A and B are shown apart, each in its own frame.
Chain A
Amino acid sequence: EVQLQESGPGLVKPSQSLSLTCSVTGYSITSNYWGWIRKFPGNKMEWMGYISYSGSTSYNPSLKSRISITRDTSKNQFFLQLNSVTTEDTATYYCARYSIIRGTIDYWGQGVMVTVSS
């Protein structure tokens, strides 16, 4: 079974970078798409971006040039970096698999809560 697990700091200072790792077991990240979604306090969910099986990326324009998603296929991990964070980036961050066949996110990690505060 596909399992995803996020890891990273739970507290980041404003203007710094947020970096998270998603470790995947049970499935190779060289198939399908892999991405990040965040849920803000109050339930609003935002799709942040994907990295494909080939390594190409697609990002939410709302995040402009602040976001980068990369991967390490040897470790079956992919990563999120979000630069110049503000308190508005406080959220629970989920990594997830996007199934090409189903055309949707079908597996989610447990999520990691990240607070941006000085």
Chain B
Amino acid sequence: DVVMTQTPVSLSVSLGGQVSISCRSSQSLVHNNGNTYLSWYLQKPGQSPQLLIYKVSNRFSGISDRFSGSGSGTDFTLKISRVEPDDLGVYYCGQGTQYPNTFGAGTKLELK
């Protein structure tokens, strides 16, 4: 299975600040069709996960441009700028390139 390693495990941020979360995969996430199926999700307290970013850098419908994804191959990053209270929760990366699909262990974003 592809192992997804997220760092850091937790992150403290001030409102209005900027943070980056790293996700590394144990194998390249480039699919045979040329696409890279790396996604980012946010799980807010008491809610189900919600999709933020798909195929590395594409924002899902309704997602603020304060969220941006980048990377290639095995190294990926989620950046959140101008952090707002509604951004707090646990962020997960996930890969859909290889079966079984796998997820990172999560990064908890908290207020400083």
Contacts and interface: CB of A to CB of B under 8 A. Distances in A.
Contacts of A110: 47-48
A105 B100 contact: no
A103 interface: yes
B35 A43 contact: no
Given A104-B94, A104-B96, A109 B48 contact: yes
Contacts of A105: 39, 41, 49, 51, 94, 96
B58 A102 contact: yes
B28 to A, nearest CB: 15
Given A45-B92, A103-B35, A103-B37, A60 B100 contact: yes
Nearest to A60: B100
- The majority secondary structure among interface residues of chain A is strand
Contacts of A27: none
Nearest to A63: B100
A45 to B, nearest CB: 4
Contacts of B55: 102-104
A93 B51 CA distance: 17
A44 B9 CA distance: 12
Contacts of A62: 100
A109 B49 CA distance: 9
Contacts of B35: 103
Interface of B: 31, 35, 37, 39, 41, 47-51, 54-55, 58, 60, 90, 92, 94, 96, 99-103, 105-106
25 contacts: A43-B105, A44-B105, A45-B49, A45-B92, A45-B103, A46-B103, A47-B101, A60-B100, A94-B49, A98-B96, A102-B51, A103-B37, A103-B55, A103-B96, A104-B94, A104-B96, A105-B41, A105-B49, A105-B94, A106-B51, A106-B54, A106-B60, A108-B50, A109-B48, A110-B47
